[in-house]
Amino acid sequence: MVIAIQMSFEAVGVIDDDPADAEVVKFQIEETGRRPIMFESGFSSLDDLVNRVRAAKVNGVVCDQRLRIRNYAVFDGAEAVARLFESKIPAVLISKYTQIDLETSIRPLRAKIPVLLPKDEIDPSSLVAALERCESEVRGTVPQSRRPHRTLVRIDDVKGELVDAFVPSWNPNQAIRFPRSIIPNKLRANLKPDDRFFAMVNTDAPTADELFFENFTSAPKVGPEDDIF
């Protein structure tokens, strides 16, 4: 069945180091009536990626997250999608490891990843919707759920290179995990629970998976002397 949905994508690039998974994505793209362009030989660098995607004249890209396993690339899919986003090329990030990688390699780049699609949710409709959303954002139309607002971030726990934190204006009762490397060097040296920062966060995100954090700065420290009345 061909999904008759009008979209501007005639050719869609498929970037996946796993040939079997790439075939599945290829099939789903064909089901949308679009032409899949397979990138089977891998990439030597992010510049190589952008150059070859541009040369292939694809209108969008579907990219897997884990690309290093077979020496297919020296970067993760999150880095690839973010770089394509900067180059104004719509790209959807797909993964079988969404939750695991979100906390480490995806979250730092989430602001430049408009759509993160678990592989078990891929079908022609979801692919088309994801590509259209990426294209719209590349063109500058940012949906409400991805508009960042300056807000407070409270560190709850520090576990090695990972941090648990709360964003009270998003949900005061749900912690979010991200790598401490998101926070600038000079601010994270002695990171500890109850440290507070201001950051740009998309506080209308419906789920924690979609939250991103940018531009951390220190928030004022408070003590008993700082009664607010």
Q: Which stretch binds another protein (CB under 8 A): 25-33, 121-129, 179-187, 220-228?
A: 220-228
Residue 216 binds to another protein (criterion: CB under 8 A): no
Give whole-number Cα distances, 207 to 12, 78, 147, 204, 212, in Å.
28, 19, 14, 9, 11
Min. distance of Cβ 48 from another protein in angstroms? Answer: 36
- The secondary structure element, H or E, covering residue 185 is helix 185-188
- The secondary structure element, H or E, covering residue 35 is strand 35-38
Among 145, 157, 184, 215, binds another protein (CB under 8 A): 145
Among 43, 170, 178, 213, binds another protein (CB under 8 A): 170
**What is the Cβ-side half-sphere exposure of residue 141, based on CA atoms within 13 angstroms?**
7
Q: Which residues contact 7 (CB under 8 A, 6 or more apart)?
A: 32, 34, 128, 131, 132, 135
Among 30, 204, 209, 214, binds another protein (CB under 8 A): 204
Q: Which stretch binds another protein (CB under 8 A): 2-10, 14-22, 28-36, 163-171?
A: 163-171
Helices (H), 32-89: 46-55, 77-86
Min. distance of Cβ 143 from another protein in angstroms? Answer: 5
Residue 125 binds to another protein (criterion: CB under 8 A): no
CA 125-20-93 angle, to 5 degrees, is: 45
Residues making contact with another protein (CB under 8 A) = 143-145, 147, 149-152, 154, 166, 168-173, 194, 196, 198, 202-204, 206, 219-222, 226, 228-229
